[in-house]
Structure 1
Amino acid sequence: MNIRILGSAATAIALLASMPADAASISLSATLRDFSASHSDFEANPIAGHVAGLASYTLDADGKPTFSGADGTGNVANAASFAQWYRDVPGVNTPYTINLTLEETAPGSGIYSYANSSFFPLDAITGATEGNPHNYHFTLELETSFTYQGGEVFNFTGDDDLWVYIDGKQCIDLGGVHGAMSGACNLDSLGLTVGEDYSFKLFFAERHTTESNFKVQTTILLEDTSIPEVPEPGMLGLLGLGLVGMGALRRRR
């Protein structure tokens, strides 16, 4: 009988952490950036409604959207203030990383969904809400890739700003401070080639102290980009016992 001995507990932990918890889900790493209400684009004169064309149709050299409106449009002060939304800027925002998991709606359906009508992920991370019921002032940036199969769609419902870019080109534009609204992208309309890999980027902003909705439903098989979570202490103990047991068996042999 051949027994493969893992060299260290760290190796075993890494292997376990890399195993998907559920094959019927897609977990995506996302960057949150926490802003304060004092930022020029957050909370100031918040009622604007949906404003199309705030963000550029294509991404810049850093893979970020740029501001395309006139100064003040959509409650965005200017291009410089908008450039801070999806970049780490010390003294302006604080970045955090979370995993966002899309679950298959039914076994074998190929439809993946995430829905949260109270989407305030920073509440549990920072505990700081500026005296509000939740931490409302933040952006979210998500980047992954996929292999185009043909027939895929991506649907989003939420508030406030939301832009989706596929292959570096905008396919959903829900900019502005507004209530929950929906947008959809039919990938067959984008001129993609079946079997080729393409980038997928999503940019979201919650800018006003009312509600925060975030709902995704898609048939795109997005590449899992989740960051492995540290195993629970109990799991670490079991790993240690398993390694000790394997060592003892090796000595007996």
Structure 2
Amino acid sequence: NWNGNWLNQYNRSDPNNSDSAINAFEGCTFGLVTGLDTNGNIQYADGVIAPKLFNDGTATGKTFYTDGQFGLQFNRNGDTYTLSAVTGEGNLTGLEYFNNPVTGSTVYNHIWTNNFWPMDGNLGKDGKTGQYQNEGNYVGVGGNKMYPTSDDGLAHNNMFGMQYAVQFKLTEDYTGPLEYYFFGDDDMWVFLDGDLVCDIGGVHSSVGEYVNLWDYVEKGEAGTHTLSFYYTERGLSGSTCYMQFTLPSVSSATPGQSTGALKVEKKVEGQNANTNNDTFTFKLGLTGSNDTPLTNTYPYVIIDKAGQSNIGTISNGGTFELQADESITINNLPTGTKYKVEETNVPDGYIVSHKGGIEEGSTAAVAVGQIETGNTANVTYTNTITPKLPSTGGTGAFRFTFGGITLIALASVMVITGRRRDEHTTA
């Protein structure tokens, strides 16, 4: 009990009673959290005793998943992003759609869930509960009791959490929408630059909240902002997580995770190097410290010859293009990430070499190395022009220009935690 609020004070709306669903917000416990500290850890209100749920330490029954094991995917329409899938074990898809669940022969008469069960493919320590013909039981403070039936009558891996963040960049003249919308259960806390802007706490039925971020951001001021999300599913029955936001120039941020960066530069030497406008293509490989391919996407900044910056995102297996005197910096790479950069489709008339990385596994066109905490790994590729005599005599050089496509998608890092729950644990 906290401020008169019990753990399951209102997780009992009737799916076939529209008035009950409309009033589901009465089951929320507002004010459980107050903000984030400088390390990105949640600050709880006075009197709230909470385990370390997210990136703030260990807790009994908690398993911490990181290093690219899970990732979020969003459908993008302009600057609007809608959560559509969770990558990892199980590859949960279709999250942009709601449905009306069926439990046995019971078909509910309204739509309210997108069946957010990303941990079903990874049982961890908890296992699955909620099958309507075999709920299972547990021993709590009140004795031996049955687990609740899940909304769709199937067994699921409940009791998990997620933290995620995005960065977005505002220019002085941007006047477009800055919006965030969430619908679901249970706890969802959203922070803009550490300040709480969305507060849906407690174990409750699915509810929604819309946030106009212009209420918290001064118009006409340029800068980079971070929107951080903290979510839990701890009601052991339904699970819904519908998320949509409209933000400009989105890239990712990884709360509480040790990261580094990779910088690749391109130099061209030899005859006519100063006027060289050829484009050079590179392929990027990213694996974890255990050699498992990373599944997330990571933000990059390309600095062109004029000193202008262009941002985007890239993932394992992606490609990027550079011209002479340009560079790319890929940020938020988890500590221990093994990188492989390969210059591909080198035009005739060039000799390729590079500096940086480690010798083992490297060739003239391939650089390999590992990301260290807080450091930037630097690789410089140099293409030397080799003159070729034309048939009429004299010196000359062949030039080739290759076009390319840069795929821009939302970068996401997600941390999923699974934990146990006692029946009468206070909020």
Relative to the length of structure 2, the TM-score reads 0.39
- The Cα shift of 1:198 comes to 0.9
Q: Kindly name which structure, 1 or 2, has the bigger radius of gyration based on alpha carbons.
A: 2
**Which residues of 2 match residues 59-208 of structure 1 at below 5 A?**
59-68=36-45, 70-71=47-48, 78=49, 81-89=50-58, 91-97=60-66, 98-105=70-77, 108=78, 110-114=79-83, 116=95, 117-126=114-123, 129-132=126-129, 133-148=155-170, 149-150=174-175, 151-194=177-220, 195-208=222-235
When the two chains are superposed, the root-mean-square deviation of aligned CA atoms in Å is 3.5
Aligned ranges 1:233-244 → 2 under 5 Å: none
Give SS of 1:124's match: coil
Structure 1 residue 62: Cα displacement: 1.8
Q: Could you tell me how far apart the structure 2 residues matched to 1:46 and 1:85 are?
A: 21
Q: Which amino acid aligns with 1:142?
A: Y
Q: Deviations over 1:134-159 (max 9, x none)?
A: 11111101122111344311111110
Distance 2:205 2:169 in 1: 33
CA distance in 2, matches of 1:229, 1:122: 23
Residue correspondences, number: 191
**How far did 1:68 drift?**
0.8
Which amino acid is the alignment partner of residue 104 of structure 1? R
In 1, Cα distance between equivalents of 2:115 and 2:235: 13
Secondary structure of residue in 2 paired with 1:223:
strand
Name the CA shift for 1:140/1:131 in 2 (closer, same or farther; >3 Å). closer
| Bigger mean CA deviation after superposition, 187-196 or 207-216 | 187-196
Whole-Å separation in 2 of the counterparts to 1:140 and 1:183: 18
Q: Could you report, residue by residue, the CA deviation over 1:71-108 in whole angstroms, capped at 9, with x for unpaired residues?
A: 4xxxxxx1xx3433443416431111321111124xx4
Kindly report which structure 2 residues correspond to 1:14-53, keeping only aligned pairs within 5 A, or say none.
46-48=8-10, 49-53=27-31
- Partner of 1:125: helix, strand, or coil? coil
Displacement, 1:186?
0.7
Judged with a 3 Å threshold, the aligned counterparts in structure 2 of structure 1 residues 124 and 130 are, in CA distance, closer, same or farther, namely closer
Runs of at least 4 residues off by over 4 Å: 227-231
1:46, distance to aligned residue in structure 2 (A): 3.4
Which residues of 2 match residues 240-251 of structure 1 at below 5 A? none
Higher relative CO (Cα under 8 Å, sequence separation at least 6) belongs to 1
Mind listing any 5+ residue stretches in structure 1 that lack a counterpart? 1-43, 72-77, 232-241
> In the alignment, is the contact (CA less than 8 A) between 2:51 and 2:59 conserved in 1?
no
The 3-state SS of whatever aligns with 2:214 is: helix
Paired residue type of 1:111: T
Equivalent residue in structure 1 for 2:32, among 27, 36, 54: 54
Contact kept in structure 2, 1:158 and 1:182, CA below 8 Å = yes
Structure 1: distance between partners of 2:211 and 2:178: 9
Is the 1:158–1:213 contact (alpha carbons within 8 Å) kept by the matching residues of 2? yes
Q: Is the 8 A contact 1:88 1:94 kept in 2?
A: no
Q: Kindly, what percent of the aligned residue pairs are identical?
A: 22
For 1:223, the equivalent position in structure 2 comes to 251
